[in-house]
Amino acid sequence: MAENGEEKLIAVARHIAKTLGHTNTMTDDILKIFSNFDGRLREKLTEKLSEDGVEQILNNLDRQISRYISSDNPIWSNAADAAAFLGSVDQLIAAVRDWTPLADDKNISSCLDRAEDLLQQSMFRLEDEFRTLVERGAESFDLTLSESTHPHPDYSDYDDDDNGFADEDENFIPVAQQITDYDIVIDALPAGTIGDLHAIAKRMVAAGYVKECRHAYSACRREFLDESFSRLGLQKLSIDDVHRMQWTQLEDEIEKWIKAVNVALRILFPSERRLCDRIFLGFSSAADLSFMEVCRGSTIQLLNFADAVAIGSRAPERLFKVLDVYETLRDLMPEFELNFSDQYCLLLRNEAMTIWKRLGEAVRGIFMELENLIRRDPAKAAVPGGGLHPITRYVMNYLRAACRSRRTLEQVFEESVDYRKGDDQALSSSSSLAVQMAWIMELLESNLEAKSKIYRDSALCSVFMMNNGKYIIQKVKDNELGTLLGEDWIKKHTAKVRQYHVNYQRSSWSKVLGVLKVDINSSSPSGASKSLKEKLKLFNSYFEEIYKTQSSWVIFDDQLRDELRSSVSGSLSPAYRNFVASLQTVPDFGKNADRYIRYSVDDVEARINELFQGTSGGKR
C-alpha cells in the first residue's frame, strides 16, 4: 500500500514539474524542492527514471535525430521530415530539461552528457537549415512587388505555437507597408518561410542557442541590405574617401545617398523590423538584438557618409548640397526614432541626432567662410567703367539662392529648435537668420566702399557705388531675402543709391553748370563779350571731356541709366539754353554766334543720351 502511495506521489511531482516547467530553470527548481523535502523522494524519482529506461529513450532519440543530422539534403525540402525532426528535437529538449536536476546520479549524468551532445548537434543542423531558409527565401521571392493587396495583421493576439502560420494565406506578405512617396514595397520573405524560421527559432531559444540563431539570421539579412544598397548605387566609402573626392563626384554621391537613406529608413528597415518581430515572435529581446545586428552596419554606413559631409570643406559652393543632406536627415528623424526605438538601438538613434546637428554646424560654418571670402576679396584692380563688381554679383546671387531654403536656414540658425516643428515654425524678420543676412550685407557694403576708393575720379566712384547698390536692392526685393531684411533696410539702401546719384552729378557737372552762369553786371559790352567767349570755350572743353570719358562708363540698369541721363539733361539743358540766349544778345557777338557755338541744345541732349554705354559684363 505504501509503495503504491509513493508511486502516486512521484507521478504527481513529475506532472507538476512538467506542467510548470516552461523555463529552463523552473523544472529544476521544483524537483530540487521535492528532493530537499524528502531524500527518499529523490531516490524514488531517480529509480523511476531508470525504470523508464532513460538510455532507451536517448537511444531512440539519437537514432531519429542522427538520421536527419547526417543527411546531405535540406530537411525543410520535405514538410514531413521537418515536422518529424522538430518533434524529435522537442522530445530531446524536454528530456534534457527533466534529467538536469538529477545529474548527481551517475547513470543519469552519463545519459545527460550524451543528450546534451546530441542537442548541440541538433542545434548546429537547425542553424544550417535556418540559414538556408533565409537565403533561399530571399532569392526565390519577388522583392519588387509594387504593392500588397492584403491588410496587415495585428500580432498582439498571435498564439505562439508550431502551427501559428498554418492558416495564413501563402500569398500574404505581412512584412511590407506601402510608403506614400515611393513606388516599391519590399516583401522580405514568403509567409511560409517565416513560419518555418519561427519554428526553428523557437527550438533554438528553448535549447539556449538564441545567440547562434540571431547570428545566423543577421548574417544573411545583412547581405540582403548590402545588396540592396549596391543596387541603389551606394558605395562603401570611408570618411577619408569622401574627403578625397572631387566636388562634382561628391555631388553625385550625395544624390545617391539621399535616395538610399530614404529607401532604407522608410522601406528596408521597417521591413526588417517586422520580419524580426515575426521570426522571433515571443522573444522580444532576440528580435530587438537581431534587428540591431542586421541594420547596424548599413546605418553606420549611411551616417558616416553624412558625417563626412558635415566635417568636410566649408567652401561656400557646398552649402546647397550640405543643406540637402541636413534636410534629409531632419525629415527622417521620426523614422530613426520609430525604427530604432528599443534599448539596443539607442546608440544609432543618438548618433543620427548628433550628425544631424553637426550638419547644422557645417551650414553655419559655410556662412562664416562666406564672410571670410568677402573680407579677403582684395581691392586691387578697379572694375572698368564703374560697373558691377564680381563679388557683388556672387554674394547676392548666392544669398538669393540660399534663401530659397529660408525655413531650413532659420532652423539652423536658431540655437534651440525642435525638428518636429518643421515648416510650421513661425519666422520673423528679427530671426537669427535675418541678423546673419544683415551682417553679410554690411560686410559686402564695407568691401565695396573700400574698392570704390581705387577710382581717382570721385564721379566714377559714385557710379560704381550706385551700380552695385542698385543691383543689391534689385536682388533683395520681392523674395525671401527681402522679407528677412525688411522694408526699412530696403528704404535705407534705396536712399543711399539716391545719394550716390546726387554725388555723381555734383562731381561731374557742377563745374560745367558753373561755367554757364552769366554775369549781368559786366562793366562793358566788350568785357561781357570776352567773358562769354571764354566761358563758351570752357564749356565745350568740359563737356567734350566728360562726354569722351563717361560714354564708356557703365550703368547696368536701364531705368537707372535713363533716370541719370534725364537728371543731367534736366539741369544742364536749361542752363545751356539760357547761356546761348545770352550770347545772342551781346553786340558784335550775336550776329556771329553760330561761328562760336559748337553744340546746339539738341546736340547737348543727344550727347548726354550717349553716356554710360560701356559694357557692363551682364547683370545676372
pLDDT in tens, 506-534: 999 999 999 888 765 555 556 666 777 88
Distance CA 350, CA 363 (A): 20
Q: What is the reported pLDDT for 81?
A: 92
Q: What is the mean pLDDT of residues 290-304?
A: 96
CA 294 from chain center: how many Å? Answer: 22
What is the chain's Cα-based Rg? 44
Q: What is the reported pLDDT for 221?
A: 93
Nearest C-alpha neighbor of 223 from the set 148, 131, 150: 131
pLDDT above 70 as % of the chain: 77
Q: What is the value of pTM for the model shown?
A: 0.77
What residue has cell string 539662392?
401
Q: What is the reported pLDDT for 144?
A: 41
Cell of 27: 523544472
Q: Is the pLDDT reported for residue 340 higher than 90? A: yes
User: Which alpha helices (DSSP H) does 141-246 contain, by range?
Assistant: 191-206, 210-231, 239-244
By three-state DSSP, how is residue 274 classified?
A: helix
Distance CA 17, CA 97 (A): 10
Q: What is the reported pLDDT for 516?
A: 87
Q: What is the reported pLDDT for 486?
A: 93
- Sign of the CA dihedral running 173, 176, 177, 178: negative
Q: What is the reported pLDDT for 404?
A: 94
Q: What is the reported pLDDT for 590?
A: 58
Q: Is the pLDDT reported for residue 174 higher than 60? A: no
Distance CA 527, CA 236 (A): 94
Q: Is the pLDDT reported for residue 259 higher than 50? A: yes
Residue 533: how many CB atoms within 10 A of its CB? 14
State the burial class of residue 398 (Cβ atoms within 10 Å of its Cβ: 0-12, 13-18, 19+): middle
- What are the beta bridge partners of residue 613? 554
Q: What is the reported pLDDT for 430?
A: 58
Q: Is the pLDDT reported for residue 110 higher than 60? A: yes
State the burial class of residue 121 (Cβ atoms within 10 Å of its Cβ: 0-12, 13-18, 19+): middle
The CA-CA-CA angle for residues 400, 402, 404, to 5°, reads 80
- Least-confidence region, from 88-92, 321-325, 527-531: 527-531
State the burial class of residue 194 (Cβ atoms within 10 Å of its Cβ: 0-12, 13-18, 19+): buried
Q: Is the pLDDT reported for residue 365 higher than 90? A: yes
User: Is the Cβ–Cβ distance between 181 and 194 less than 8 Å?
Assistant: no
User: Is the Cβ–Cβ distance between 147 and 91 less than 8 Å?
Assistant: no
Q: What is the reported pLDDT for 562?
A: 93
Q: Is the pLDDT reported for residue 157 higher than 50? A: no
Nearest C-alpha neighbor of 269 from the set 204, 352, 212: 352
Nearest C-alpha neighbor of 612 from the set 564, 553, 543: 553
- Least-confidence region, from 86-100, 250-264, 360-374: 86-100
- Least-confidence region, from 147-156, 244-253, 468-477, 481-490: 147-156
Cell of 568: 543731367
Cell of 46: 531517480
Average pLDDT, the chain: 82
pLDDT tens-place string over residues 581-617? 887 777 666 566 677 788 889 999 999 999 998 764 4
By three-state DSSP, how is residue 554 classified?
A: strand
Q: What is the reported pLDDT for 13?
A: 52
User: Which alpha helices (DSSP H) does 70-105 contain, by range?
Assistant: 79-99
pLDDT tens-place string over residues 386-436? 999 999 999 999 999 999 999 999 999 986 444 444 444 444 445 899 999
What residue has cell string 539621399?
258
Distance CA 608, CA 569 (A): 7
By three-state DSSP, how is residue 613 classified?
A: strand
Instruction: Name the E strands within 290-433.
Output: none
Q: What is the reported pLDDT for 593?
A: 67
Distance CA 52, CA 44 (A): 12
Beta-carbon contacts of residue 227 (< 8 Å; ≥ 6 apart): none
Q: What is the reported pLDDT for 53?
A: 72
Region of 3 on the Ramachandran plot (φ > 0 left; ψ -120 to 50 alpha; else beta): alpha
Query: Concatenated DSSP letters for 319-353?
Result: HHHHHHHHHHHHHHHHHHHHHT-SGGGHHHHHHHH
Distance CA 199, CA 216 (A): 15
Q: What is the mean pLDDT of residues 49-64?
A: 75
Cell of 127: 542553424
Q: 494: number of CA atoms within 13 Å, CB side? A: 11
Q: Is the pLDDT reported for residue 183 higher than 60? A: no
- Least-confidence region, from 128-137, 155-164, 228-237, 437-446: 155-164
Residue 334: how many CB atoms within 10 A of its CB? 12
Higher pLDDT, 87 or 110: 87
Distance CA 382, CA 468 (A): 13
Beta-carbon contacts of residue 551 (< 8 Å; ≥ 6 apart): 610, 611, 612, 613, 614
What residue has cell string 507521478?
11
Q: What is the reported pLDDT for 313?
A: 93
Distance CA 47, CA 108 (A): 10
User: Is the Cβ–Cβ distance between 312 and 363 less than 8 Å?
Assistant: no
Distance CA 473, CA 556 (A): 13
Q: Is the pLDDT reported for residue 147 higher than 60? A: no
The CA-CA-CA angle for residues 405, 407, 408, to 5°, reads 65
Nearest C-alpha neighbor of 133 from the set 157, 165, 160: 165
Distance CA 45, CA 13 (A): 9
Cell of 504: 555723381
User: Is the Cβ–Cβ distance between 95 and 121 less than 8 Å?
Assistant: no
Residue 389 is classified by DSSP as -
Torsion of CA 265, 268, 271, 273, to 10 degrees: -60
